[in-house]
Amino acid sequence: MNLRLFRGTMTSEGDLVMKHRGLAVLFLAFLLGALCLKGAPALSLDARRARATELVAEDNFKEAWEVFRDLCMAPSPDPAEAVADFTNAVACLRRIPWKLCRTMDEDGDGEADEQGTEERLAAFRDRFLTLRGDDWRVLLAVAQSFYEKGRFKEFQPIDTPDRRRVVALAEKAVRAARDQGGAPAELARVHLEFARMLIKNDGTPLLFPSYRNGCALMRLTVSPDKATATDGYVRWFSRPPVEEDGSPVLFRSPSGLDAAKNDGEKWRWALDQAVRLDPSVQSEVLLHYADFLREQFGVKTLGELVPDGLEGDERWRRLRDREAVLAGLGENETLAELATGEKRFALPDEFNHIAVYRKVAAAEHGPFGEIALSKLARVFEQRRQYASAVQQWKTSIRKYGDPRGIPHSQRAPRTPRGPF
């Protein structure tokens, strides 16, 4: 009996000793591993970017967002890399499902933040601007990130906090770029981006015909919290604004950015500065400007042609009389639908889309010249001046060839009927 007890006691003590030895070995192994990890070099920024790119390829946007987010906050001497990381982070965050986004833990306290995509993105923008907001590239990238929220709608608020902040950030980026300097072509693109943000709500490129909301340029955006405009809603395809005497509002180029009386004058200034910095963008800028003038003051603002099946009634006679007026317009005249109604008026060459298109067509021998000629031809078709339209099409074919590859003699005749 005693022997069994003694043997049992010895066995228990042996197990205890072995257990203590095992714990000691595990502790030493953990300590050595920690020391090794402490001495091992951390992954480089390039390696982390490569890993994030792999995660995106695997559709693992949550982990990719976390990597790109941390890269944005890491010290980086190259602002271009920080901007690229920010753009990728925003793209990944927008790809994360909304329900998963609300379960994410940003502050590391072990509890979900209950933040949606836009709330999380707004906080991320603020942190990024706080860390790197002195660089104009960062300011411009943050302003561009607002456009990814969605396209424009048929009814737009005259003034929204997002638009005020976009314009304020873009203007701050322009001022910082002019102070910090850079390549002329790069600075010109900054001014063009500023012009795009002033005139367009949807983030589409400049050469995209949706400049009809001239009323939006009547405001003067002062800061992210203030703009001198009346609150309310306007239709995106609203009629062009007029002065007190009934004449159309013409946005003239100011002597400087601080001298601008409204966003329309800021827009003209940005376009002029882009051409001054990089003359190679002149044709692109002029086409953009002519498209705006055409949307504001072109005959296409009238809307409709003579409908079929109504011949002889009052509406038919009114539209037929309008077509006769259109055919008799001079190139310095237009018939447009303004905020006060339909009006025939003359336009100076500076604000005449036909004159600006002709300037581009005469000076440019590349794709912009061909675009200008085709738009001139369509303008004359809309004005029912078909001889002038044919002349523009012939000039375009002679200089640039037939874009459809069809001989002119084999083309079907163009019908004049159809919407503007």
pLDDT tens track for 205-237: 444 444 455 667 777 776 655 545 443 334 444
pLDDT at 341 over 60: yes
Report how far residue 153's alpha carbon sits from residue 156's, in angstroms, rounded to the nearest whole number. 6
Report how far residue 199's alpha carbon sits from residue 216's, in angstroms, rounded to the nearest whole number. 8
Report how far residue 80's alpha carbon sits from residue 72's, in angstroms, rounded to the nearest whole number. 11
**pLDDT (tens digit per residue) in 17-64:** 455 555 555 555 555 554 443 443 456 888 888 998 899 899 899 899
3-class DSSP state of 288: helix
Report how far residue 22's alpha carbon sits from residue 66's, in angstroms, rounded to the nearest whole number. 38
Q: Residue type at 211? A: Y
| DSSP letter assigned to residue 248 | B
Helix (H) or strand (E) holding 333: strand 333-338
Predicted confidence at residue 21, as pLDDT, reads: 56
Count CB neighbours of 252 within 10 A.
12
Predicted confidence at residue 112, as pLDDT, reads: 61
Q: Which two tokens stand for residue 338?
A: 């303004």
Q: Which two tokens stand for residue 402?
A: 């037939």
Predicted confidence at residue 223, as pLDDT, reads: 60
Q: Residue type at 161? A: P
Q: What angle do CA 311, 314, 320 make, to 5 degrees?
A: 60
| Letter string b/e over residues 223-247, b meaning 16 or more CB atoms within 10 A of that residue's CB | ebeebebeeeebeeebbbbeeeeee
Report how far residue 114's alpha carbon sits from residue 372's, in angstroms, rounded to the nearest whole number. 52
Q: Residue type at 71? A: L
Closest to 340 (Cα-Cα) out of 240, 264, 420, 213 = 240
* pTM for the whole structure: 0.76
pLDDT, the chain, mean: 77
**pLDDT (tens digit per residue) in 58-87:** 989 989 988 999 999 888 778 889 999 999
Highest mean pLDDT among 91-105, 191-205, 378-392: 378-392
